[in-house]
Each structure stands twice: as structure tokens, then as C-alpha cells.
Structure 1
Amino acid sequence: MTGRPLAVLLPVASPAPRSFPKLTLVHCVGIVGALALVGGAAHAQGAPAAPSAFEVIFKWSPLLLQGFLFNVAISLLAMTLGTVAGLALGLAQIGTNRPLARVAWAATQFFRNAPWLVLLFFAMFMIPFQFRIFGYVIPFPDWVKAVIGFSLPVMANVSEILRGAVRSLPSGQWEAAESLAFSRRQTLWRIILPQCVKRMLPPWMNLYSLVTMATVQASIVGVSEMLTLTSEVHAAEGGRPELLAPLYGFAMLCFFLYCYPIGRLTQRLERRFNVKS
């Protein structure tokens, strides 16, 4: 039997493993970028993105700066009114009329040590909203009451500044003027008060900085100044919590940029006049 050689069954060759391309940094950046584009497009189609804090401040900055200028106007008016009244009260303190001097001293101590916010509330609620004079109705807006409320502590502090400046001068100034036959009024207006100006100027400027920063308290009684407008802007932007710090930080920055140069100038005047306030 002639036999044929049997066929040898060879093992089935396994297919060669496929090699996947290696992921490089460029590929990873491309994938992340594509995902970001797709996600951004989907978010844009779904709902509009909320503006950032910088965009909100830039958008409302004209209104907020208007409110800040109103704060400055209130501080200037209160400082002017309080300085005039304070000089009169201070002159009454150092006057020769004893009953008047005691009344002036008591008024100075009362308004100087009373809380500013309480004085502001008294001015708001004790002063009428309008006056009737000879049949004419004269309105009295809230910001005018705020000016009066802030001018009361200014008056008391200016009175004390004047009294301290006059008492700080050597008594020889009065004696020399008396030896030259000057009257008390002439001595006061021609010799004493001109020397008091440089002593009063640094503390007066410090007082103005305090008044400017205190004008934000007018927002509590309904005056539309910068802090009130900041709260309204925050409400207009949906009351987003993340906008609180930037908006009020912008208000703080405005007051700092305005008051810091005043403080530096005060220090410069103190060094120039060699006067410690």
C-alpha cells in the first residue's frame, strides 16, 4: 500500500497585534482644546454667560463715580458749614463772657463726644421735610439734612481745635500785645489767630478726611450716595454673591485714592510747620 504522506496540520498563525499610535503632548492639547470648544459652544447655545466683575464695574462706573462725587460734595459742604460754626463756638469758648464761654464749652463737649450716626438720625427726623415762609413752600431734601448732621461734629471738633491752638501759644504773646496797648480784640485778630492757622491746618485736614469717609453713613438714612448706588447696582445684577467684594472694593478704592493724598499732605504740613496734631 503505497501511502501518501499525511498532511501536517500547522498551527494557525495568530494575527499580529495592532499597534496604536502613541499619544504625545500635542495630541493631548488638541483633544482638550476640542473638548473645550465643544463644551463652550454647547454652553453658549444653552444660556448666556454672566458678565465678570470687571465688566460689571466698568459698566456701572459712571453711576458709581457720580455717587462718589456726591459724597465729596456732602463732605465739602458739611466741612464749610461746620468750620464757620466751629470758629464762632471756639471764639466763644476763649471769650471773656463767662456764661457764654460755659455754654460754648458744654456744646463743644456734647457734639464732640456724641456718635456721628446718632446726630445724623436726629438731623434727619427732627428737621422738617419742608418749610413754609410767607406762603412759599421750601423743600428740605435729605442730603441737606445729611450736611447739617455731619456739620455738627465738625463744628465741635473745629471749636476744640481752635481752643487748643490758642492755648498752645506762649502767654508772652498776650503780655507783649498788652504792653503795646493792644485791646483784646486786636490781640486776638492781629496776633494770636494768624499764628494759630498753621497749628490748626493739619488737624483740620485730618478731620476732613474723617468726614469724607463718614459720609457713607448717609446711605442708612436714604441718601443716594455711592454706597446706596453700589447696593442698587448689586441688586440690578441679580444679587450675585461674587459681585459683593468687587463692587464694595471699588467704593473703598475710590475713597482711598481721594483721602490718601490728603493724609500725605497733612504729614508734609506737620513736618513743615513742625506741629504735632
Structure 2
Amino acid sequence: MNWTSYSEPLLQGAWVTVQLTVFSTLLGAVVAFALGVGKLARNRPCRLVSIAIIEVFRGTSLLVQLFWLYFALPILGQAIGMDLRLPPVAAGVLALSLNIGAYGAEVVRGAIQAVPREQYEAAKALDFTPRQILWRIAIPQAVPEMMPSFGNLAVQNLKDTALVSLISLGDLAFRAEQIRNFTQDSTTIYTLLLFMYFGMALVLTAIMKLLERSVGRWRTTKA
């Protein structure tokens, strides 16, 4: 078996990795905005829940989170009479989303708080409600500031997808390990794996840079 025969299973695994990255990054962005805004909320229960979720998922290992969702959650479900079993894909996407969302929440919070105080005072003078101030004043100005950090988180999320191989999800890392166990050709397999992750990271970085420039142009046009 030579390196050309490795391409089909590795490409199949790469496609799973791409899907995991896309779905978990998009869902993670939603989680980040929800938790970031929630942490700034005036409603105390909402703020405390957001802080608790952020601290738990930032303060624990992604691997432990993944194992808890996939192995421990179904056992908890049995104890309370509910079926809480998650397919490997759902467990992987959920764990990655919550993890990147917790880190992204701090990016959202920081960017919103970085909006000049004068902007808030001017909006209040125009009799804007707190919700209008948030969605019409703060977030449009904060989003461009978030983009570089979100780009870094997206690339980190791509690399973190390798952990889902540990719950038998057929991603790139899982396929590579299968081939290595069969052929014992560690050097070739891990070299290919290295370059494939590097290539995907370059593509993702380029996409995030384009998105960052597009958001910057949109902000300039609105201004």
C-alpha cells in the first residue's frame, strides 16, 4: 500500500472534519453572542447563568466535555428516565460549539464594552431603548473588532476537531489512525495528516480574512 492509496479514506475523513468545523464554528458564534450579551445583561439570573456556562467551558478540558456529552449524558438520562444519547456527530458539534462559544463570549463582551461611552450617551439622548442601543449602536461597531479574534478561534476549532476521533467519529484524524494501524506506515501517514490540517487551516484563515475585510467595508459604508 503506497501513499496514493491513502488519499481516498483521508479525503473522506477531511470532508467530515470540514463539516464539523463549519457547523461547530457557526453554532459557536451564536453561542458566543448569546453568552457575551448575556454576561452584560441587567437581568441578574441571565447574567449569572451566562457567567457560569462561560467559566465551566473555559475552565475544563474540551476532551472531558466531549466524553461527558457522549458517555456520561446518556447515563444521566437513564437515571431521570430520558433518552439523552447523542450521535457522535451531534456530540462532537455540540462540544466544539460550546467550547468555542465560551471563549468567543469573552471576545463579544470585550468588543461591546470597547464601544466609546459617548455612543451610548448619544443614543440615550435620542431616547433609544437598551435593546435598540445594543443592536443598532453597540453590536454594529463591535463586530469588526471581533473578527480577528474570531478568525483565530475558528482555526483553533479546526485543530480541536481531531479530538472527535476518540468517540469513533470518522474524521481526518480517525481515518489516519485506522490506516496507520493497518499499514504501520507512521511517517507517511502523519506527514500527510500534518499537511492536510495545515492546508485546511490556510484556507480557513483566508476565508476569515475575506470576511473580516467585508465586515470592515460594510462598517465604512454604514458610517
| TM superposition score normalised by structure 2 | 0.84
The one-character-per-residue Cα deviations of 1:70-116 (angstroms, maximum 9, x if unpaired) are: 01111111112222122112111111112321221222122122211
Q: Tell me the SS of whatever aligns to 1:181.
A: coil
The one-character-per-residue Cα deviations of 1:109-146 (angstroms, maximum 9, x if unpaired) are: 221222111111111113339x9xxxxx9974212111
1:222 partnered with 2:168:
yes
Does the 8 Å CA contact 2:73/2:84 hold for their aligned counterparts? no
The one-character-per-residue Cα deviations of 1:159-186 (angstroms, maximum 9, x if unpaired) are: 1111011011111110010111111111
Higher relative contact order (CA 8 A, sep 6+): 2
Structure 2 residue runs of 5 or longer lacking an equivalent are 78-82, 217-223
Structure 2 residue corresponding to 1:146, chosen from 92, 97, 112: 92
Structure 2 residue corresponding to 1:177, chosen from 123, 128, 141: 123
Which residues in structure 2 correspond to 1:51-90 (within 5 Å)? 56-90=2-36
Does the 8 Å CA contact 1:108/1:159 hold for their aligned counterparts? yes
- Residue in structure 1 matched with residue 200 of structure 2 by the alignment: 258
Report the aligned-residue RMSD. 2.4
1:236 partnered with 2:182:
yes
The one-character-per-residue Cα deviations of 1:33-81 (angstroms, maximum 9, x if unpaired) are: xxxxxxxxxxxxxxxxxx5xxxx22112011111011011111111122
- Residue in structure 2 matched with residue 168 of structure 1 by the alignment: 114
Q: Tell me the SS of whatever aligns to 2:74.
A: coil
Letter of the aligned partner of 2:11 in structure 1? L
> Structure 1 residues 263, 177: CA separation in 2 closer, same or farther (over 3 Å shift)?
same
Does the 8 Å CA contact 2:88/2:168 hold for their aligned counterparts? yes
1:249 partnered with 2:195:
no
**224-233 vs 175-184, which moves further:** 224-233
**67-76 vs 227-236, which moves further:** 227-236
Note the C-alpha offset of 1:260: 2.1
Does the 8 Å CA contact 2:12/2:172 hold for their aligned counterparts? yes
Whole-Å separation in 1 of the counterparts to 2:31 and 2:62: 17
> Structure 1 residues 139, 102: CA separation in 2 closer, same or farther (over 3 Å shift)?
closer
- Residue in structure 1 matched with residue 148 of structure 2 by the alignment: 202
Whole-Å separation in 1 of the counterparts to 2:117 and 2:53: 26
The one-character-per-residue Cα deviations of 1:169-205 (angstroms, maximum 9, x if unpaired) are: 1111100101111111111111111111101111111
Whole-Å separation in 2 of the counterparts to 1:246 and 1:73: 25
State how many pairs are aligned. Answer: 209
> Structure 1 residues 221, 139: CA separation in 2 closer, same or farther (over 3 Å shift)?
closer
> Structure 1 residues 121, 138: CA separation in 2 closer, same or farther (over 3 Å shift)?
closer
Whole-Å separation in 2 of the counterparts to 1:139 and 1:77: 20
Whole-Å separation in 2 of the counterparts to 1:68 and 1:232: 14
Larger radius of gyration: 1
Letter of the aligned partner of 2:5 in structure 1? K
Structure 1 residue runs of 5 or longer lacking an equivalent are 1-50, 132-136
Letter of the aligned partner of 1:177 in structure 2? A
Does the 8 Å CA contact 1:122/1:149 hold for their aligned counterparts? no
Structure 1 residue corresponding to 2:66, chosen from 120, 143, 155: 120
- The share of aligned pairs that are identical, in percent, is 28
Higher helix share: 2
| TM superposition score normalised by structure 1 | 0.69
Letter of the aligned partner of 2:50 in structure 1? A
